[in-house]
């Protein structure tokens, strides 16, 4: 029987290099999980920086804490992307049933209801999403879009302004505010 000696020095060195090189990534990930810091930075960011911060916030808000629930969210989003609102609603209803405290599930299901023109249900879901995460500027934008669709430009404008206060460079919010400004504020003489 032959016993091979394990090269412990090589293994220890490899682990040390891995840990050393991995540490900055872990520190960066810790920063990206601080929602308050990301939102504060977003309010002050320039256009390029706001895009990066937006991606970080969207990633943070998309984590349910359960791989199964994250999969339902992904399937719901994928179905919405290909305009299969029925499948999206089914996946997202399963998600909201099993993870009722996960704000993003309610937000994305509201988007599916909006696409299906179930505006009352979309408003209910946005209400739930915003009670769980009042800083979700995309959900606030969605609220504005529904109010605008339902013929309430004043309240839609207020929602858009609220979303813009959180994310000043949100392109769709800026377009909506520009579109409604004269209607809500009146025309200058």
| Average pLDDT value for residue range 140-158 | 97
Q: C-alpha angle with apex 95: 91 to 100, nearest 5 degrees?
A: 150
Residues 111, 141: Cα–Cα separation, whole Å: 11
Residue 125 confidence class, pLDDT cut points 50, 70, 90:
very high
Residue 186 confidence class, pLDDT cut points 50, 70, 90:
confident
| Residue 5 vs residue 143, higher pLDDT | 143
- Cα 74 to the center of its chain, rounded Å: 12
Tens digits of residue pLDDT in 47-75: 999 999 999 999 999 999 999 999 999 99
- 93: burial class by Cβ within 10 Å (0-12, 13-18, 19+)? middle
The confidence score (pLDDT) of residue 148 equals: 97
Segments making up each domain of the chain, as ranges: 7-61
Are the beta carbons of 28 and 146 closer than 8 angstroms?
A: no
Alpha helices, H only, the chain: 8-32, 35-44, 47-61, 67-81, 85-98, 103-115, 119-132, 137-149, 153-166, 171-185
């Amino acid at each position: 029987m032959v016993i091979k000696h394990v090269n412990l020095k090589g293994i220890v060195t490899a682990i040390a290099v891995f840990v050393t090189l991995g540490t900055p990534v872990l520190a960066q990930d810790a920063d990206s999980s601080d929602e308050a810091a990301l939102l504060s930075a977003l309010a002050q960011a320039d256009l390029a920086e706001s895009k990066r911060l937006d991606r970080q916030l969207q990633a943070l808000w998309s984590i349910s804490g359960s791989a199964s629930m994250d999969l339902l969210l992904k399937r719901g989003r994928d179905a919405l992307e290909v305009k299969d609102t029925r499948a999206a609603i089914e996946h997202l209803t399963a998600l909201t049933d099993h993870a009722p405290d996960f704000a993003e599930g309610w937000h994305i299901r509201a988007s599916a209801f909006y696409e299906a023109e179930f505006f009352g249900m979309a408003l209910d879901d946005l209400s739930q999403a915003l009670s769980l995460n009042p800083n979700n500027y995309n959900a606030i934008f969605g609220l504005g879009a529904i109010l605008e669709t339902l013929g309430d430009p004043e309240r839609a404008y207020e929602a858009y302004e609220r979303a813009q206060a959180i994310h000043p460079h949100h392109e769709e919010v800026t377009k909506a505010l520009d579109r409604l400004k004269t209607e809500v504020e009146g025309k200058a003489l």
